[in-house]
Amino acid sequence: DTGVSQNPRHKITKRGQNVTFRCDPISEHNRLYWYRQTLGQGPEFLTYFQNEAQLEKSRLLSDRFSAERPKGSFSTLEIQRTEQGDSAMYLCASSARTDQTEAFFGQGTRLTVV
């Protein structure tokens, strides 16, 4: 499968624990996006990478959230000291360099904080 891959697909964690999600984009895509989606809402932007550079972070991304893309390939999103409000679907998408092209999404990681 050469699409966007996210792991794990589901994560249940206790409040206060740290979690890390991984995203492997389509190999020739240099742009990578993280979004968060809750029920009944569209995806909300969290952060954006162009190659290894994190070019933008949403104000939704509190100090407890950090994202990396160390070699410009896969990316990780870590949430420290999780809260119940962090429960959501975390979606990763990638797109090619040309600004006109669409983004392709992974299947997401569904996080439940109990």
Partner 1 sequence: RKEVEQDPGPFNVPEGATVAFNCTYSNSASQSFFWYRQDCRKEPKLLMSVYSSGNEDGRFTAQLNRASQYISLLIRDSKLSDSATYLCVVNRLGTGANNLFFGTGTRLTVIP
Residues that bind partner 1 (CB under 8 A): 33, 35, 40-45, 48, 50, 55-56, 58, 89, 91, 93, 95, 99-108, 110
What does DSSP say about strands 109-113 and 10-13: parallel, antiparallel, or unpaired?
Answer: parallel
Angstrom distance (rounded) from CA 39 to CA 112: 13
CB of residue 8 vs partner 1: minimum separation in angstroms?
15
- Determine phi and psi for 113, rounding to 5 degrees: -105, 120
CB of residue 103 vs partner 1: minimum separation in angstroms?
6
Give whichever of 17 and 101 is closer to partner 1, judged by the CB atom.
101
Give whichever of 32 and 79 is closer to partner 1, judged by the CB atom.
32
| Coil, helix or strand at residue 57 | strand
SS3 of the chain: helix, strand, coil, percent, to 5: 5, 50, 50
CB of residue 71 vs partner 1: minimum separation in angstroms?
20
Angstrom distance (rounded) from CA 75 to CA 49: 9
CB of residue 18 vs partner 1: minimum separation in angstroms?
24
Give whichever of 13 and 96 is closer to partner 1, judged by the CB atom.
96
Give whichever of 8 and 16 is closer to partner 1, judged by the CB atom.
8
